[in-house]
Chain A
C-alpha cells in the first residue's frame, strides 16, 4: 500500500510530507510487531518448555481448526467471487447444517448404525447436512438477497446480517439455547503414529475433506462450462447476460456450492468439537471471513491458505510468541494474535495473499 502510494502520489511537498509521516508510522509499527514476535519466539525456544512432539501437536491442532475455517471461507469466497457480495449469514448457514447432522448422528447413534456401519452413517450425516445447508442458502438467496441484488447501497449487506439473526433465533426457538453434545464413535479417537508423531485420524480426515473440497471447487470453476459462466458473471454481469449467460442460474449455482461447503464444514466442525449450539456459527463465521480476506477474497486457493494460516497462528501463536515474553494465560489472546497477524498481512498486501490478479481486474 505504502510503496505504490508513494510512487503515484502527487509531488506536492505537503502531500509528500503527510504520506511520509504515515509511512514512517507504518514501518515503525511493522518493525515493533516483528521485533516483539521475534523476541518472544527466541525466548520461548530457548526456554525449551515444549518438546518437538508438542510443537508438532500444536501445528496439527492449528491445521485442523484451519481446515474448518478454510471450508467456511470457501463458501464466502464462492459467493463473493460471483456476486461481489459478502454473505454474512454464511456462518449461520453452517450452523443449520451442524444441527441437521446432529439429529442424524444422534439417531444413528441410538439405533446402533453409527457403531455398526460408521462409513454409511457418516455419509448420511454429510448428505443431510449438505442438503440442509444448500436448501437454506438457496432460500436465503431467493428471498433475502435476490430482491436487493440491483439496489444501490448496503441493502444486501444489512439483509445478510438480518438473515444471520433470523437463522440463529429460529434454531434457538426450535431446539433451545442449550449446548448439545455430538455423539462420538470409537474411530474418532483412533491415532496413527508415523515417525513417533501422534496424529489423530479425525484430524487427517478433516484436512482431507478441506483439501478435496478446494480441489473440486477449483476444477468446477476452471474446467467446466458452468465455471466459465461463473467467471464471466464475476467479470461483468451485464456483458455475461448479453452473451447468453443466465445470471440467476449462475448465482443460484454459486450459492448451492457455498451451501455444500458449509455442509461439509459443519460436519467436520461437529466431528472435532462435538458440540452444537445455536450461536456456534458466529465466531467461526467471522474467523473464516477473516481467512477469506487474508487469502484474497474471491480466490479459492486463497481461502484455503488463509484458513490454514489463521488456524495455525491461533494454535501455535500464543505459545510461540507470548510464552517467552512471560505473559500469563497466553491462550486468552489467541483471537487478538490471529487478527493482528491478519492485519499485518493486509498492511503489506491489502489485496490478500492470493488476491492480486482479482484486485487488478476490478480496479
Chain B
C-alpha cells in the first residue's frame, strides 16, 4: 500500500515536472537568437512514407535544392532543415507540428503536402509563434477570407482549389462555347463544392445549368441518369468526380441516344492512368480540368531546377510541386533577410512576429511563377489548364501529352 502510494506520488511529481517543462517549451519567447556559428533551423513536414511518399519527397528535395543554391547559408549562418514525416494525415500533421513547435531553435516551417496535415498542424505551429508555408496543400479553407485566427500563420506558395470551379466555368463557356451544361457530383464535399462553384460562375457568364445531378461513388448503372440528362439536351456535362463512377458514365454515355457527341469534362479525381484502364476507349475525347502543371506554365528558371534535381538525385521529380517547395524556401529566406537583426558579434535575432509580417510584403518571380501573398496567405496564383485524353493506352499517360494540354 505504502509502496504503491509512494510510486503514485513519484509519478505525480514526474508528471508535474514534465508538464512544467512542456509548458516552458510551448510558452517560448517571441524571438530566436542564433549565436555565431550556430545554424538557422528551418522546420519542414511532408508525407515522407506510405503511398504518397513521392509527393512529399519531391517537396523536401525542392527545399534542399533551394538551400543548396544559397550555398547552404542564410545571413551568414549555415541552414539546417529539420524534416518530419506527417504521413498525409491529420494525426501525422499534429505529431509533426508538436515536435517542431517544441523545438526553440526553429525559426519557421515549410510544408506540408496534404491539406489534412495543414488543417491540424498550422494552428499548433502558429500558437508557438511559428509561420508555416504550404507547398502542395490546396484546400480552399486554408486561405479562405473567413479562416480562423489560428491559421493566420499559414501561407502557401501553391494554388487554392477555390479557383478551380470558376476557371472551369470560364473555359466551358468561352473555350468550349457550351450554352447548356449539366453537372454531376458524387456527394463528397470536394465534388459538391466544385460543381456548385462552377455552376454559379457559369450562370453568371450567361450560360444555363440545366440540372445539377448526383450519383453515389459506387453506382454502376448510370443509364437511367444519363437518359434523364439526355432529355435536357446539354452541350456539355461537368463531372469532376472519381475514377470508377466517371468510367461508367463515359462508357454508358456512348450508348445513350443523344449523348454520344456531348463533351464530358472531369477534374483532378480522374487525372491518373487508372481512368484509362477503367473506361477503356470511352476515355478518348474526355476533358480534364486541372491546374496547368506542365513545365511551360512554371517560372523561367524551372528547367534549371529540373536539371539540378536530376543531377542531385539521379531521377526526375514526380510532380511539379518541387517548384512550389523551392519558392517556399525562397520566400522564407527573403522574409528572414528583411526582418532579422544582426548584432555586432554576428548573432542573428529573429523576431517571429516581424518575420510573419515581412512574409506578406515580399514579391518575386519564382520557380513556379510569380509569388506575392494576399492578406489571407495565398501567395501563388491559380493557372487553369484543360487537358484531353488521346488514347486509352496506360503506358502513354503523361499530363501534358496524354491527356494532352489543349488550353491555354
Contact A329 B248 (CB under 8 A): no
Nearest B residue to A188 by beta-carbon distance? Answer: B255
A334 to B255, CA, bound (A): 21
Q: Distance (Å) between the CB of A243 and the closest chain B CB? A: 45
Given contacts A61-B221, A179-B277, contact A274 B212 (CB under 8 A): no
Q: Distance (Å) between the CB of A187 and the closest chain B CB? A: 13
Nearest A residue to B223 by beta-carbon distance? Answer: A61
Q: Mark A33-68, 1 if CB is under 8 A from B, else 0.
A: 000000000000000011000100110011001000
Given contacts A198-B257, A331-B214, contact A181 B278 (CB under 8 A): yes
Given contacts A200-B255, A275-B247, contact A184 B280 (CB under 8 A): yes
Contact B224 A332 (CB under 8 A): no
**Which of A19-27, A82-90, A313-321 lines the interface with chain B?**
A313-321
Asked whether A235 is an interface residue with its Cβ less than 8 Å from the other chain, the reply is no
Residues on the A chain within 8 Å of B211, using CB:
328-329
Given A178-B277, A181-B279, 14 extra CB contacts under 8 A:
A49-B231, A58-B224, A178-B274, A179-B244, A179-B247, A181-B247, A275-B248, A318-B224, A319-B224, A331-B215, A331-B219, A332-B187, A332-B213, A332-B216
Asked whether B205 is an interface residue with its Cβ less than 8 Å from the other chain, the reply is no
Asked whether A189 is an interface residue with its Cβ less than 8 Å from the other chain, the reply is yes
Chain B 209-267 interface residues, beta-carbon cutoff 8 Å to A: 211-216, 218-221, 223-225, 227-228, 231, 243-244, 247-248, 251, 255, 257
Contact B244 A331 (CB under 8 A): no
Residues on the A chain within 8 Å of B220, using CB:
273, 275, 280, 283
Q: Distance (Å) between the CB of B220 and the closest chain A CB? A: 5
Given contacts A274-B251, A329-B212, A335-B216, contact A315 B278 (CB under 8 A): no
Nearest B residue to A329 by beta-carbon distance? Answer: B214
A314: contacting residue among B213, B218, B221, B278, CB under 8 A: B221
Contact A315 B280 (CB under 8 A): no
Asked whether A149 is an interface residue with its Cβ less than 8 Å from the other chain, the reply is no
Asked whether A180 is an interface residue with its Cβ less than 8 Å from the other chain, the reply is yes
A329 to B225, CA, bound (A): 9
Nearest A residue to B183 by beta-carbon distance? Answer: A329
Chain A 327-348 interface residues, beta-carbon cutoff 8 Å to B: 328-329, 331-332, 334-335
Residues on the B chain within 8 Å of A57, using CB:
223, 227
The 10 closest A-B pairs by CB, nearest first: A179-B278, A332-B214, A329-B214, A181-B280, A331-B225, A61-B223, A273-B220, A315-B224, A329-B213, A179-B244
A180 to B255, CA, bound (A): 19
Nearest A residue to B257 by beta-carbon distance? Answer: A198
Residues on the A chain within 8 Å of B243, using CB:
179
Give the most central of A178, A181, A318: most B CB within 10 Å. A181
A78 to B280, CA, bound (A): 36
Nearest A residue to B273 by beta-carbon distance? Answer: A178
Contact A283 B274 (CB under 8 A): no
A200 to B255, CA, bound (A): 9
Residues on the B chain within 8 Å of A319, using CB:
224, 228
Residues on the B chain within 8 Å of A179, using CB:
243-244, 247, 274, 277-278
Q: Mark B176-206, 1 if CB is under 8 A from A, else 0.
A: 0000000001010000000000000000000
Chain A 171-215 interface residues, beta-carbon cutoff 8 Å to B: 178-181, 183-184, 189, 198, 200
Residues on the B chain within 8 Å of A180, using CB:
277-278
Nearest B residue to A183 by beta-carbon distance? Answer: B280
Can you list 24 pairs linking A and B with CB atoms under 8 Å apart? A54-B231, A57-B223, A61-B221, A65-B221, A179-B244, A179-B277, A181-B247, A181-B251, A181-B280, A184-B280, A273-B221, A275-B220, A275-B248, A275-B251, A275-B278, A277-B244, A315-B221, A315-B223, A318-B224, A328-B213, A331-B214, A331-B219, A332-B214, A332-B215
Contact A275 B244 (CB under 8 A): yes
A25 to B243, CA, bound (A): 44
Contact B231 A178 (CB under 8 A): no
Contact B216 A54 (CB under 8 A): no
Residues on the B chain within 8 Å of A50, using CB:
228, 231
A329 to B224, CA, bound (A): 12
Residues on the A chain within 8 Å of B228, using CB:
50, 319, 331
Residues on the B chain within 8 Å of A332, using CB:
187, 213-216
Contact A283 B218 (CB under 8 A): yes
A184 to B221, CA, bound (A): 17
Nearest A residue to B225 by beta-carbon distance? Answer: A331
Residues on the B chain within 8 Å of A273, using CB:
220-221, 248
Contact B274 A189 (CB under 8 A): no
A331 to B186, CA, bound (A): 11
